[in-house]
Structures are given as C-alpha cells and as structure tokens.
C-alpha cells in the first residue's frame, strides 16, 4: 500500500466529518430558544397548531439529505415554523450513544457486503467492530456540543472547547476508518472497487458531498438506524440497559426550542426482542410522545406489540401503504389490543383503494374509528383508477381539506403529519415545496 493510497483513504474519511454542518445549525437552535425561528412575533416559538389541529412533520424523512443529524432535523423544523413531530427513533438513539450511532447510516447490511467472500466479510466485520468505540466517542461529543449550544453564546469559550473536542474525536474516527481500509486493501481479502465503495458507505465515507446523501427514509448520520453499524445482538443488548438520561436531555433541547415529539417512529420492530419493545415504549414516553408508530407488520406482530402497548398504556399507530390487505389487518389489530391504532396514510388509502367497498374514503375510516387514529400522513395522490401518483398538495384526488376540517370540527386528537413524497418541480427545492404543503394545510384549517 503506497503512501499516496493511504492519503487518499484519509481524504475520503475526512470528507465525512460533520463538525461544520453541526456548527451551522447552532444559530437556529440558539435563536429558537429565545426568539421566533422564521415566523411569528419576536419572542415567539414555532407554532403549527391551527384551530386545535397540530400540523406535524414526518422527520427526518421529509428532509431527505438536508437533515443528517438530530440537530439538523430540529433546525429544519424551526425553519418551517413547525412545532409538532412524528420523529424516527434512530436520531434519538444516536444522540444517546447507541452502538454504531456515530455512523452516517444508509450503508452496508448487517450480514456484510454483497458479493464479498466469507473471508472478506469477516475482515469487514472486524474492521467495523474496531470502529465502534471511536463512533461512540463522536456521538458523545456531538451531544456535549448540542447541550452547550443552548447554554452559551455561539462565540463562547465553552462552544469553542466542545467544538474542538468534537473535531478531535472525528479526526480519530477518520484516521481509524482510513487505517481499516488500508489494512483490508493490503491483505488477501482486498476488495474490488464496488465492494470498497460499499465498505466506505457502510462506515461513513460520503457518497457525494459532505456527509453523504441520506437515504429516502430519513437516513444519514443521526437519521439512519444505529443498527447499520452494529450487530443485532449488540444493539439489543444496549437497548435493554440504556439509561434514559440522554433521552431526557434530547427532549429538553427540542422542547426548549418549541418543538414537541408527539409520535415516535420505530423501524425494524418485527425483529425486536421483548426488552427492545419495552425500550421503545419507554423511550417514546421519555421524549414526550403519546404514541409510537411503525410500518404495518402483520397480525402476529401486532398482537405482540399490542400486548406491550397494554402494559405501557400507550397507543401504537400502524402505517398503511397501498395494500388493500392493510385495512383487514388494522381491524384485527384493533381487536387484539385497545391500544392498537392506525397511522392512517390518507394518500396511500386513496392511491391504492385500500378501503375497498367498506370504506370509500379515508374519512369514512376515521369517522368510524376516530379514537384509534393516532395521526394521519397527509399527502396528495391520484386515485388507484387514475394511476395513484403523488402530486403537489391540491393537485391530486386525496380529500385533504375534508379530512383536516373533520379533525378540526370534531376535535379529534389526531396529528396531521405531512409526509413529503411528490417530485420536486424544476426550479424549486425541497424546503420550498414542504413550506407550500404546510401553507395548504394551514389554509384548509383556518377557513
């Protein structure tokens, strides 16, 4: 391995360091603690509650690669003057120091890299395990800097010291990543270019631009599941004994800025142990959530999750897609536990004709089960008969206005959670389009 190659690997690893991005979000965080973010009177905090209905964000999903950390997620939310969230748990767990939480996410599968030999995957697993302590140190330094940002002015010695500590931790991690790549590429288990790129993505090197491109599901550092860099048993063990102290600190940072976590989303729940399920409900409640949410997992899982929901006395919102089988699954889940509920995606409901002959409209479903709907996902889609495509709000066939006004007029406790999924038009950008979607919902609720 030549010195030039080592330098190239070091450069790749250094490009992934997040300090500058983290520091750039501090003005928004500090400003929100005492002043309006982008809207409202001086001294105000964000407010997306309109006539009794909370307009929320599915975060960091909506922000794509614009919110690679939990702090970036908060900053983007403040920029939009939004005060309510359905927040994925991964960013919180990363903040708490979960195994692999310092990674950028979106990378390799737990079982290794596709196409690699058993010997290569063993070398990759060993290299990844050796980075765990360095990743944990970076996560801890990020937490310290976040907390300091709300206590001290941006140019204070404390902020400078915390930023330096984070930079030092990241430099050690970058060097560790470079050394790991050099070691593998100097061995008989040398990776080909495609495998090397996968290894770099799995362990934090960027896929294009600083910090890498976040996956559509709200990934990126602080957004992707900590499990991306941790073995299942390692993460399960951590969850079984994790202290909630950092979760309480996380909640304070968000709520001091005026943003409230109403729903917490968990991924991969069908594989959770009982201890992990217990952890999920405990974490959600600690962060102030009134419900958790997850993808529709089938009724064997809803029975098991519902039993844990009974124990914690907390609702679960199962997210439907365009599969007509989802409604019968939801109704069965309702019978399994009084805490089993629906995260009703009204766009998918229309786009897949999910209700069939029983529920012609998502509003029919909500009217029959208002106490079971934890929150709705608001998006505009064409009907199944017309292709089911996502559209800008107001251009599709989803009855957004009717649903929002029904929630308002009936005073149902249902968050209207915007899930941004339509194609950004040429000449516009993601945040502009999200702001338009919020304005559409505000107008519907205000009139």
pLDDT digits (tens, 9 = 90+) for 305-354: 999 999 999 999 999 999 999 999 999 999 999 999 999 999 999 999 99
pLDDT in tens, 235-267: 899 999 999 999 999 999 999 999 999 999 999
Mean pLDDT across the stretch 161-170? 84
Q: How far is it, in rounded angstroms, from Cα 175 to Cα 241?
A: 30
pLDDT band, residue 156 (cuts 50/70/90) = confident
Question: 13 or 250, which is more confident?
Answer: 250
Q: Which residue has the higher pLDDT, 291 or 41?
A: 291
Least confident of 144-148, 173-177, 342-346: 144-148
Give the mean pLDDT of 370-394: 97
Q: Is the pLDDT of residue 107 over 80?
A: no
Mean pLDDT (the chain) is 82
pLDDT at residue number 143: 67
Residue 214 has pLDDT above 50, yes or no: no
Cα distance between residue 245 and residue 237, in whole Å: 17
- Interval 211-231 mean pLDDT: 38
Q: What is the pLDDT of residue 22?
A: 52
At 434 the pLDDT is: 98
Q: What is the tens place of the pLDDT at every residue in 27-36?
A: 555 444 433 3
Structure tokens at 85: 């969230």
Mean pLDDT within 357-386: 97
| Residue 49 bridge partners (DSSP) | 54
Higher pLDDT, 182 or 292: 292
Nearest to 364 by CA among 374, 377, 355, 373: 355
Question: Which of the four pLDDT bands, split at 50, 70 and 90, describes residue 232?
Answer: low
Q: Give Cα separations from 286 to 87, 247, 325, 375 (angstroms).
A: 13, 7, 33, 19
Tell me: pLDDT of 201 over 70.
Answer: no
Cα–Cα dist 157/206, whole Å: 31
Measured between alpha carbons, how far is residue 424 from residues 82, 393, 427, 429 in Å?
A: 20, 12, 9, 6
Q: Which pLDDT belongs to residue 154? A: 66
The whole-number pLDDT of residue 153 equals: 73
Region for 295 from its dihedrals, namely left if φ exceeds 0, alpha if ψ lies in -120 to 50, beta otherwise:
beta
pLDDT band at 167 (very low <50, low <70, confident <90, very high): confident
Secondary structure, 3-state, the chain: CCHHHHHHHHHHHHHCCCHHHHHHCHHHHHHHHHCCCCCCCCCCCCCCEECCEEEEEEECHHHHHHCCCHHHHHHHHHHCCCCEEEEEHHHHHHHHCCCCCCCCCCCCECCECCCCCHHHHHHHHHHHHHCHHHHHHHHHHHHHHHHHHHHCCCCCHHHHHHHHHHHHHHHHHHHHHHHHHHHHHCCCCCCCHHHHHHHHHHCCCCCCCCCCCCCCCCCCCCCCCHHHHCCHHHHHHHHHHCCCHHHHHHHHHHHHCCCEEEEEECCCHHHCCHHHHHHHHHHHHHCCCCEEEEECCCHHHHHHHHHHHHHHCCEEEEECCCCCCHHHHHHHHHHHCCCEEEEEEHHHHHHCCCCCCCCCCHHHHHHHCCCCEEEEEECEECCHHHCCCEECCCCCCCCHHHHHHHHHHHCCCCEEEECCCCCCCCCCCHHHHHHHHHHHHHHHHHC
Q: How many CB atoms lie within 10 A of CB 432?
A: 12
Q: What pLDDT, on the 0 to 100 scale, is given for residue 162?
A: 83
Using alpha carbons, select from 142, 358, 128 the residue that is nearest to residue 250: 142
Question: Within 13 Å and on the Cβ side, how many CA atoms surround 323?
Answer: 12
Tell me which of 382 and 30 has the higher pLDDT: 382
CA separation (Å) from 222 to 27, 29, 124, 129, 171? 19, 17, 22, 19, 18
Q: Which residue in 15, 12, 25 sits closest to 63, CA to CA?
A: 25
- Mean pLDDT calculated for residue range 188-214: 58
Q: pLDDT at residue 25 above 70?
A: no
The pLDDT value recorded for residue 103 is 32
CB crowding 76-114: b at 16 or more within 10 Å, else e = bbbbbbbbbbbbbbbbbbbbbbbbbbbbbbbbbeeebbe
Q: Is the pLDDT of residue 416 over 90?
A: yes
Q: What tokens appear for 293 in the block?
A: 């949410």
**Angstrom distance (rounded) from CA 346 to CA 280:** 26
Radius of gyration, alpha carbons of the chain: 22
Model pLDDT, residue 15 = 47
pLDDT tens, residue by residue, 78-96 = 999 999 999 999 999 988 9
End-to-end CA distance of the chain: 68
């Amino acid at each position: 391995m030549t010195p030039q190659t080592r330098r190239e690997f070091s450069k790749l690893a250094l490009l992934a360091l997040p300090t500058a991005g983290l520091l750039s979000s501090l003005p928004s965080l500090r400003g929100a603690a005492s002043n309006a973010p982008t809207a409202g009177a001086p001294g105000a905090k964000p407010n997306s509650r309109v006539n009794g209905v909370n307009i929320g964000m599915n975060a960091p999903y909506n922000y794509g690669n614009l919110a690679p950390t939990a702090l970036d997620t908060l900053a983007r939310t403040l920029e939009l003057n939004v005060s309510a969230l359905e927040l994925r748990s991964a960013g919180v767990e990363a903040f708490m120091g979960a195994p692999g939480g310092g990674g950028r996410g979106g990378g390799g599968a737990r079982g290794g890299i596709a196409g690699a030999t058993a010997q290569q995957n063993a070398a990759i697993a060993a290299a990844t395990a050796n980075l765990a302590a360095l990743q944990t140190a970076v996560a801890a330094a990020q937490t310290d800097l976040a907390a300091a940002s709300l206590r001290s002015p941006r140019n204070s010695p404390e902020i400078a010291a915390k930023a330096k500590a984070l930079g030092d931790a990241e430099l050690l991690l970058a060097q560790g990543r470079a050394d790991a790549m050099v070691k593998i590429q100097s061995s008989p288990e040398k990776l080909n270019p495609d495998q090397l790129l996968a290894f770099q993505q799995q362990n934090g090197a960027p896929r294009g631009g600083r910090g890498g491109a976040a996956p559509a599901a709200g990934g990126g550092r602080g957004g992707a599941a900590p499990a991306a860099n941790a073995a299942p048993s390692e993460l399960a063990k951590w969850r079984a004994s994790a202290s909630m102290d950092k979760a309480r600190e996380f909640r304070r940072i968000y709520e001091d800025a005026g943003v409230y976590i109403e729903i917490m989303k968990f991924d991969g729940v069908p594989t959770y142990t009982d201890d992990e399920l217990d952890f999920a409900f405990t974490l959600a409640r600690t962060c102030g959530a009134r419900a958790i949410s997850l993808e529709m997992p089938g009724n064997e899982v809803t029975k098991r999750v519902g039993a844990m929901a009974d124990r914690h006395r907390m609702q679960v919102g199962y997210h439907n897609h365009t599969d007509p089988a989802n409604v019968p699954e939801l109704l069965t889940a309702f019978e399994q536990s009084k805490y089993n509920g629906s995260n009703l995606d009204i766009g998918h409901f229309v786009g897949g004709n999910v209700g069939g002959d029983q529920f012609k409209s998502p509003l029919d479903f909500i009217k029959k089960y208002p106490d079971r709907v934890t929150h709705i996902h608001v998006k505009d889609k064409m009907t199944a008969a017309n292709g089911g495509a996502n559209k800008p709000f107001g251009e599709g066939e989803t009855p957004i206005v009717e649903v929002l006004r029904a929630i308002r007029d009936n005073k149902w406790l249902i968050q209207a959670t915007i899930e941004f999924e339509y194609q950004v038009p040429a000449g516009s950008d993601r945040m502009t389009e999200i702001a338009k979607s919020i304005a559409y919902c505000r107008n519907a609720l205000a009139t």
